[in-house]
Structure 1
Amino acid sequence: MNSAAHSSNRSQSVASFEPIERVTNRLVGAAFSPHRHDTYTVAVTIAGVQTFNYRREIRHSLPGQVLILHPDELHDGHCHDDAGFSYRAAYVPPTHVQAVLGGAKLPFVANGVSTDPALIAAAFNLVVDCAGVADPGAYEDALYDLANAMNTAAGKATAVRIADRTAVTKAREFLETAVVCGARLDQLEQVTGCDRWQLSRDFRALLGTSPYRYLQYRRVDLAKRLLREGATLADAAHGAGFADQSHFGRTFRKTVGLTPKEWLRSGLFRTIIL
């Protein structure tokens, strides 16, 4: 039996970036012939065993592992057994990675397959969690984490510098005013006069989280207040600036550990810290 179920779409990243391509694929019996991409291939194996030739060696990717194939590297792909395999992937242009790393040499992940927890988490976020999310800040945040996780996995050190506290304070204050309308890194760059990716590093260093996630925390705080005041889930999602109720639910659960409905049922919404 030779079959393949495949879906592909191109999703807009951020205003200064071209769209990236994402695919969801299942192969049973079929195979990819040797080919190359001019992008990084970032793929998460969902089920089965994905087998491929890469840099003259046979590699295997198991469920939960991640493939990071370097641009212009020849590779193929085929089923390890009759069960086939499923994966999801995103094709990230090296220019996007360079934007984060500021002109450093592109990181090369040895063997093409990684079990590094940080890299897996970053890849899963970019490939799965960001798929279909309308907020461009989600891709900015995921791209930053992926580029730095690849850099670390490749054994490259990150230069240490003193964080710009003034720029971070300006960015935080701006985010506090943009909870509902949202903000992108290019806007923070204009507000602070600091390079967006350096600002992102400094923000993490001084406040322990990224500008995007800081904004999501403030949105969840606002949604909690609206729910306490009797708003419906849909109204709370809209009032707090979420693109839709699905995005609201995912973000709320990542932040609180419960869905909005579970949080309301738990009685925790009655706990107010003075």
Structure 2
Amino acid sequence: MNANSGMGFDGSTATLARQAEGDLERSCRRDAIVTAPAEDGIERIEARFSGNVFSPHRHDTYALGLTIAGVQTFSYRGAARFSTPGRLIILSPDELHDGGAGGEDGLVYRMLYISPDRISAALENMSRFRSLPFVQAPVVDDPGLCSSLTEALGELDTEMGELKCDDLTAEIAGHLLRLGDAGAQGTGGPLARKALLRCRDYLAESVETNIGSETLEALCGLDRFSLSRQFRAAFGTSPHRFLVQRRLQRAKALIASGETLAEAALSAGFADQSHMTRHFRKTYGMTPGRFQALTTARPR
């Protein structure tokens, strides 16, 4: 494994706990984020931090993680939460949270960010599926989900590939459905899925365009308020936030590749760097400049 790979995993939480001490020692050397190669609808990272790192923010994805070393602390749904080595974190889309190390020794964790539309597609033909699963407990011990996350997060220096991504998406979607309540936040009727997919695809392909509600209404045949409700049920966020997130996703990739912050902002469809910075911090809990510094710092 190369330096960007961090550590290896197997399906045992006991093994994760045994490996924690060495990783914790390494984590104190330098704060850093290591990213895996980008794949459709899936992002994987390893983070090594000390102190409070992330201010309150929201993702438009499911954030599923393994705490490797140290104590991972965050506020979620009005309460302080803690995860220790070997435990799993499940954050649903658009839920406000912060994050940091719960002790002076630092923190190591790996996270899988998976888009709600991948989860929705994987559950499409399951009889229990009505809307996206919502898991109440953000910190869990679950052997099935642990095994799937361990497989997904074991090697960060290579792509998983389409087949493995699809297999793991199906597994993870099933675990989320089992652990959560897919009907708790339903829209009260069937979703216009084909229309919603047209709308989603148009937004994803139009990050540099100033899009209005009338354009989306004409595209999908729903009024703007029905569209907003159904879009959130299907994809975990509103059409506007989905568009902003796609812009941020592009900006983040450009920053990690070496673009200046100003160039990344304009290339991603933001009016200027300050406009990007405001949205970046709301979504990722840090400024673009801080992200730029972390992605260029590699653990040794």
What is the TM-score normalised by the length of structure 2?
Answer: 0.47
Which amino acid counterpart does residue 121 of structure 1 have in structure 2? S
User: For the residues of structure 1 that align with 2:63 and 2:48, how far apart are their CA atoms?
Assistant: 16
Q: CA deviation at 1:130?
A: 7.5
From 137, 146, 157, the equivalent of 2:163 is: 137
Q: Structure 1's 31 and 117: CA in aligned 2 closer, same or farther, altered over 3 A?
A: same
5 Å matches for 1:53-202?
53-102=75-124, 104-128=130-154, 132-154=158-180
Does the CA-based 8 Å contact 2:34-2:45 persist in structure 1? yes
Q: Distance in 2 between matches of 1:151 and 1:128?
A: 23
8 Å Cα contact 1:2-1:29 kept in structure 2: no
Aligned to 2:65: 43
Identity %: 36
TM-superposed deviation, 1:129: 5.2
How many Å separate the matches in 1 of 2:163 and 2:88? 23
Check conservation: 1:6, 1:24, Cα contact below 8 A.
yes
**Structure ID, larger Rg:** 1
- Provide the C-alpha distance between the structure 1 equivalents of 2:87 and 2:157, rounded to a whole number of angstroms: 18
Q: Which runs of 4+ in 1 moved over 3 A?
A: none
In structure 1, what is the equivalent of residue 31 of structure 2?
4
Q: Which runs of 5+ in 2 are unaligned?
A: 1-27, 184-300
Q: Distance in 2 between matches of 1:99 and 1:33?
A: 32
Determine the C-alpha separation between the residues in 1 that align with 2:157 and 2:164.
10
Greater relative CO (CA pairs within 8 A, separation 6+): 2
Determine helix, strand or coil for the equivalent of 1:11.
Answer: coil
Match of 1:34 among 15, 39, 56: 56
State how far apart, in whole Å, the 2-side matches of 1:118 and 1:86 are: 22
Structure 1 match to 2:247? none
Amino acid at match of 1:101: L
Deviations 1:240-262 (A, max 9, x none): xxxxxxxxxxxxxxxxxxxxxxx
Deviation at 1:57? 0.5
2:46 counterpart letter in structure 1: T
Q: 1:46-91 deviations in whole A, cap 9, x for unaligned?
A: 1111000000111111111111100000000011110111011121
CA distance in structure 2 between the aligned counterparts of 1:86 and 1:56, rounded to whole angstroms: 24
Asked if structure 2 preserves the Cα contact closer than 8 Å seen for 1:130 and 1:139, the reply is no
For residues 138 and 131 of structure 1, the distance between their equivalents in structure 2, rounded to whole angstroms, comes to: 15
Tell me by how many angstroms 1:139 deviates.
1.0
CA RMSD of aligned residues (A): 2.3
For structure 1, list consecutive stretches of 5 or more residues without a partner in the other structure: 13-17, 158-274
TM-score (norm 1): 0.51
